[in-house]
Structure 1
Amino acid sequence: MQDVKLIRNFCIIAHIDHGKSTLADRLIEMTGSLTDREMSAQVLDNMDIERERGITIKAQTASMQYKAKDGNIYLLNLIDTPGHVDFSYEVSRSLAACEGALLVVDAAQGVEAQTVANVYLAVENDLEIIPVINKVDLPSADPERVMLQIEDELGIDASDAVPCSAKTGIGIEDILEAIVARIPAPADDNDKPLQALIFDSWFDSYLGAVSLIRVMAGTIRKNQRMQMMSTGKNFEVLQVCQLTPKPLETKQLSSGMVGIVSGSIKSVSETRVGDTITDPKNPAKAPLGGFQKAKQMVFGGIFPIDASEYQNLKDSLEKLQLNDASLTTEPESSQALGLGFRVGFLGLLHMDIIQERLEREYGLELIFTAPTVVYRVGLKDGTEHKIENPSKLPDPTTIEYIEEPYVAITIHTPEEFIGGILKILQEKRGIQKDMEYTTSNRVKISYELPMNEMIFDFHDKLKSISRGYASMDYEVIDYRQGDLVKVDTLVNGDKVDALALICHRVQAPFRGRSLCKKLKEILPRQMFQIALQAAIGGKIIARESISAMRKDVTAKCYGGDISRKRKLLEKQKEGKKRMKQIGNVEIPQKAFLAILKIDE
């Protein structure tokens, strides 16, 4: 059994692109956990998308043996965390599995928004934080300024921060020594009933659902029974492994250790992140705190371009759900787009990743409708409904109130971009809460913002205004009543349900006009005139017309009486009228994306 005093569990927290995955590579390399042949860049990011975008989506773990200068061999468990705000619940579970954290800050960029958010999470979990200043080899590096920033903005003593360069390997041994010396060992609770925290799970085609666990108390052994405390279901433990980061079978995991367990569990939804595993023969009195069900914040429709691909889309979504329990799907049918699915995502990045994986890994050609949030709609009969699809909004005469979710948003930016950023925050119905200078030229802006304003194109606008220097972080705070209306889009008098949107009454005419103009550019001309209209209920608030393609029917008339030409033109006019009644307008994929760009 592993001596608990020689175990160190830690994670790395950082803003996107501050060198977290590279530092993990160097630590694994330095401790010899993988041979040179098995090493690759970003070894813990095993999805193509993670490598290309430089983001961590799924938390990974690596158990490393390190011989310290004091002569002892320590077991270091590195628990990798996703950096993006969409996965903040997974981050909080990963942090709950640790006793310490390496806070990685870029020596050139300094402290950014998600650094702050993740530090607060680490402080809430009572972790010992070791500041690490990465990329000190860059010409633009300024470690002294970054140390002051860490002390001022985060309130963490940075006098003993470890300078390093994960790329070149400078200072990696100092980090390992700091982990051994400064991060406390886990509590020795081997004699207590089993309590193990699931902080990640995924689906393996051979082993079924696999749980990544940290044993908080007791011991978990191969062939014993285990029980999930949130559902009460029992399974037999068929395999117990440590990750180095490749799986290495072991007979048991004792208190303080990190590893994976599997037991022919059919679905990832049985092994929920944050759940507690216990021994049914000697169960723990209470589960570990902090368990929540995944909350979907953004919803979008997914439809196959070719209707015959519907079954493939269904199978692909089921396969993705095996690996990602936070994804929710329900069948949906649209008059304009046929059969498809309404899919719930944790946030915009999560939506982006699922979209890319469906198209790339499963080779599907898809139409994605604009993302929407969940609205609470109170009716006059006293009932309340949750609506995530604008086309499902009840008749306006029956609605008492509509509530929309609000987010608290924090933006870190160099001061020269403040004006432009405040302007878009005001346009998006933001409420200013706070603005403070964290250093002489960096500003932290705090606002409250309706979430449906943020999900459209706020992030893109923020990045373009600040030339990529501003960083943002958000969390959902509450629901508030608003004067919201549904704007319908009519093409040739027919409502296109997939182009419906919910927005504030004041912005409805502007949004309606913009959408009609965009559609006029995108929709191909037909042999008959097409009317594009935006309407709130029965009231038309905007209109554009796409003129018909016209054949010159008078070309054969040369000379002669004008009435001959008139007769031909009248005949053409009649034909166009008839054609308009039976004509069908094909709406291309680009039109459904137009709704995302109507503010431009």
Structure 2
Amino acid sequence: MNNIRNFCIIAHIDHGKSTLADRLLERTGTISEREMQEQVLDDMDLERERGITIKSHAIRMDYIRPNDEVYTFNLIDTPGHVDFAYEVSRALKACEGALLVVDAAQGIEAQTISNLYQAIDQNLEIVPVLNKIDLPGADPEGVGQQIVDLIGCDPDEIIKVSGKTGEGVDGLLEAIVERIPGPTREEDKPLKALIFDSIFNTYRGSIAYVRVMEGTLKKGDPILFMATGKEYDAEEIGYLKLKKEPVKELKAGDVGYVIGSVKSLQDAKVGDTITHQKKRAEKAIPGYKEVKPMVFSGIFPTSSEDFEDLRAALEKLQLNDASLTYQPETSKALGFGFRAGFLGLLHMEIVQERLDREFNIDIITTVPNVQYEVDTEEGNRIEVDNPSDMPAAGDIEKVWEPYIKASIITPAEFIGPIMKLCQERRGVYVNQHFMQNNRVEITYELPMAEVVFDFYDKLKSGTRGYASLDYEFIEYRKGDLVRLDILLNGEPVDALSSITHRDKAYYQGRKVCAKLKELIPRQQFEVAVQAAIGSRVIARDTIRALRKDVTAKCYGGDISRKRKLIEKQKEGKKRMKQVGSVDIPQEAFLAVLSMDDED
């Protein structure tokens, strides 16, 4: 009898999937009342506070049916946010079914649809679940109709539950048994195990979470990671309960963990295939790819003594999170730091927050940038993710920028503000599709650079929080992009440089100059704050010099005496300007970086 069920939960942020997972753990007796806490599977404080899943989790449960049959459930939890889409795709690959959880008060959102399409592409059995039916604002009929329109199921197939009160959870457990197919148990074939997640343990090395697709993995087997070609021994294998439970073997269809003293997280990459060293599988499980960062930003310690601490902190974070990349860089203005690559803005925010909380390091981050491709006059194509690496304007033939396809779901009354926002951000309209309950899905193609700043915040504020956004990278397109330099007394400040569209450069330059004029303290000499593209200055502000009243000692007498003193002072100021340097306070950097939030 095939009594294993491998499934995941697909839901938008805040639709209650972690709470529903808590109820499943309770009903199957996997967790005792004493161990119970909210969002059991979210083990980071950050995840609990924000109510989002950052790392995916997996847990094994034993469900005893009323007729005493025992079924093994492997719940492979997935992150809901668009930045972690690749992790979601690997978790779906490890399952045969998915619970589509929709909030009965909020209805279907953009990320739910995007993850649902991924699940349908992988041929997963979808079990629709309507959650939060106990809320006063719940509309089970209307939202149920949205689900019917989306996946074409019968209204009777939708299971209505409340993750908070536990209502309807027993019916859901039965539906998992009856509707989700068991895995194929091809134990005699060569071993193929998919790594759908990996975590780093200081003492044991990298621990791979795997779903065995074919064959059998026994304790002590010599194993091979097919994408990286690394060879290790499976020192310990086991099931993922709340704590790890060692076993002698994992068979086809099982979900578990493998420990093999893997020294680096880079060796056990998500999406890789594990096989035996001797009896190898011919082909790896398809779909593996390197995770490419999309957003880049400089990270600098506010005090230069913290540089080594920051390096150690980033190393430790990278052990937990293989998608974080970084390399050292120096800036004249900010000193020594690192250029870090992130999957998206949420990922960047979480890394910054973790550096602050877990390692107690104060950092300054530079303006987030995306990666551009530049064709030079010599016929080379280079990748640029740092404005200071952009070649001089005369050496550039073409600049290519990344474009994304954004799908926004919103109540129909907010179509106007959304279209206005997308047009301002150089968006290309694709189509719109009206859904049930007066909601509409609008699709735009947008430059990634226009989205990474504050697009999401503006979208939320323009629609009173009702719109939801999902996006995917499509291609690089040619763009009219320039490097905007900020000069102080004719010296460029590299940390304030940015790559921007030519049409927006003047407006942005004016804004930065005005802001710096407010924030840089006055010096003994006049300071010119300029914004320039190449050698052409496009905006300027002047910080006036502090002046001593040198004519105060003149009582009456000829005007030429006063003029002589003022000329003498002017000479001194001129000499001072040649040797003087301007210190930019930290607040000025921070204000310029957060300036786009204040528009």
Do the structures match in fold with TM over 0.5?
Answer: yes
Residues 286-329 of structure 1, C-alpha deviation per residue, up to 9 Å, x if partnerless?
11010001111111111111112111111111111111111111
Q: Please report the TM-score for the alignment, with normalisation by the length of structure 1.
A: 0.97
More divergent stretch after superposition (196-205 vs 320-329): 320-329
Deviations 1:447-502 (A, max 9, x none): 00011111111111111111211110000000001111111111121101111111
1:423-434 equivalences in 2 (<5 Å): 423-434=420-431
Equivalent position SS for 1:269: coil
Segments of structure 1 that go 5 or more residues without pairing to the other structure are none
> In 2, are the aligned partners of 1:408 and 1:474 still within 8 Å (CA)?
yes
Please state how far the C-alpha of 1:555 moved relative to its aligned partner.
4.1
Matched, 1:367 2:364: yes
1:60 aligns with 2:60: no
SS of match in other structure, 1:591 = helix
The answer to whether the Cα contact below 8 Å between 2:145 and 2:436 also exists between their aligned partners in 1 is: no
Contact 1:147 1:159 in 2 (8 A): no
Contact in 2 for aligned 1:303/1:367 (Cα 8 Å): yes
Q: Which residue of structure 1 aligns with residue 116 of structure 2?
A: 119
Asked if 1:266 corresponds to 2:240, the answer is no
Quote the residue 1:490 is aligned against.
487
Which position in structure 1 is the counterpart of 2:252? Answer: 255
What's the offset of the Cα at 1:190?
1.1
Following superposition, the deviation at residue 558 of structure 1 comes to: 5.0
Alignment of 1:226-305 (within 5 A): 226-305=223-302
**C-alpha distance after superposition, 1:33-88 (max 9, x if no partner):** 12222221111111111111111111111100000134211000000001011110
What one-letter code is carried by the residue in structure 1 that aligns with 2:49?
Answer: E
Moved more, 354-363 or 522-531: 522-531
Question: What secondary structure, in the 3-state scheme, does the structure 2 residue paired with 1:215 have?
Answer: strand
Deviation at 1:520, TM superposition (A): 2.1
Match of 2:106 in 1: 109
- Aligned-residue offset at 1:348: 0.8
Which residue in the other structure is 2:412 paired with? Answer: 415
* Pair 1:207 & 2:213 matched: no
> Quick one: which of 167, 170, 176 aligns to 2:164?
167
Aligned position for 2:595: 597
Q: Does residue 387 of structure 2 align to residue 390 of structure 1? A: yes
Specify which of 447, 458, 463 is matched with residue 460 of structure 2: 463
Find out whether 1:137 has 2:134 as its counterpart.
yes
Equivalent in 58, 64, 71 of residue 74 of structure 1? 71
Report how far residue 92 of structure 1 moved.
Answer: 0.2
TM-score by length of 2: 0.97
In the alignment, which residue of structure 2 is the partner of 1:378? 375
Distance 1:79 1:586 in 2: 52
On the 8 A contact 2:406/2:443 being kept in 1, the answer is yes
Does the aligned pair in 1 maintain the 2:433–2:440 contact within 8 Å? yes
Amino acid at match of 1:202: I
Match of 2:447 among 447, 450, 454: 450
Moved more, 224-233 or 368-377: 224-233
Task: Give the whole-Å Cα distance in 2 for the aligned partners of 1:551 and 1:133.
Answer: 74
8 A Cα contact 2:454 2:596, kept in partner = no
CA distance in 2, matches of 1:565, 1:136: 84
Amino acid at match of 2:192: Q
Alignment-derived partner of residue 179 in structure 1: 176
SS at match of 2:518: helix
Contact between 1:520 and 1:545, CA under 8 Å: does it hold in 2? yes
Judge conservation of contact 1:429–1:449 (CA < 8 Å) in 2. Answer: yes
Following TM superposition, by how much is the alpha carbon of 1:238 offset from its aligned partner in structure 2, in angstroms? 1.1
Residue identity opposite 2:160 in structure 1: P
Once residues 170 and 437 of structure 1 are traced to their aligned partners in structure 2, the CA distance between those partners, rounded to angstroms, is 32
CA-atom RMSD in angstroms: 1.5
Aligned to 1:309: 306
Deviation at 1:253, TM superposition (A): 1.2
1:539 aligns with 2:536: yes
Aligned to 2:504: 507
Pairs aligned (count): 597
Alpha-carbon distance in structure 1 between the residues aligned to 2:370 and 2:151: 32
Equivalent residues in 2 for 1:548-587, closer than 5 Å: 548-557=545-554, 559-587=556-584
Deviation at 1:567, TM superposition (A): 3.7
SS at match of 2:508: helix
> Does the CA-based 8 Å contact 1:514-1:598 persist in structure 2?
no
Q: Which runs of 5+ in 2 are unaligned?
A: none
8 Å Cα contact 1:457-1:596 kept in structure 2: no
Match of 1:334 among 331, 334, 346: 331
The worse-fitting range, judged by mean Cα deviation, of 195-204 and 337-346 is: 337-346
CA contact (8 A) 2:7 2:99 kept: yes
Give distance in 2, aligned partners of 1:563 and 1:44: 82
Separation in structure 1 between the aligned mates of residue 110 and residue 546 of structure 2, nearest angstrom: 53
Q: Is the 8 A contact 1:134 1:166 kept in 2?
A: yes
**What is the one-letter code of the residue matched to 2:439?**
R
What residue in structure 1 maps to residue 19 of structure 2? 22
1:7 counterpart = 2:4: yes
SS in 2 for 1:509: helix
Tell whether the 8 Å contact from 2:89 to 2:118 is kept in structure 1 after alignment. yes
Q: State whether residues 330 and 336 of structure 2, in contact with CA within 8 Å, keep that contact through their aligned partners in structure 1.
A: yes
Q: Call closer, same or farther: CA 1:556–1:313 in 2, change over 3 Å.
A: same
Instruction: Give, in angstroms, the shift of residue 203 of structure 1.
Output: 0.5
Distance 1:70 1:556, change over 3 A: farther
Out of 208, 212, 215, the position equivalent to 1:218 is: 215
How far the C-alpha of 1:247 sits from its partner, in A, is 1.2
Alignment of 1:94-105 (within 5 A): 94-105=91-102
- Superposed CA deviations along residues 537-568 of structure 1, whole A, max 9, x for unmatched, are 11001111122333444444455544444344
The structural deviation recorded for 1:222 is 1.1
Which of 391, 403, 406 aligns to 2:403? It is 406
Asked if the contact 2:453/2:596 (under 8 Å) is kept, the reply is no
Q: Distance in 2 between matches of 1:378 and 1:96?
A: 38
Give the distance between the partners of 1:131 and 1:523, measured in 2 at CA: 57
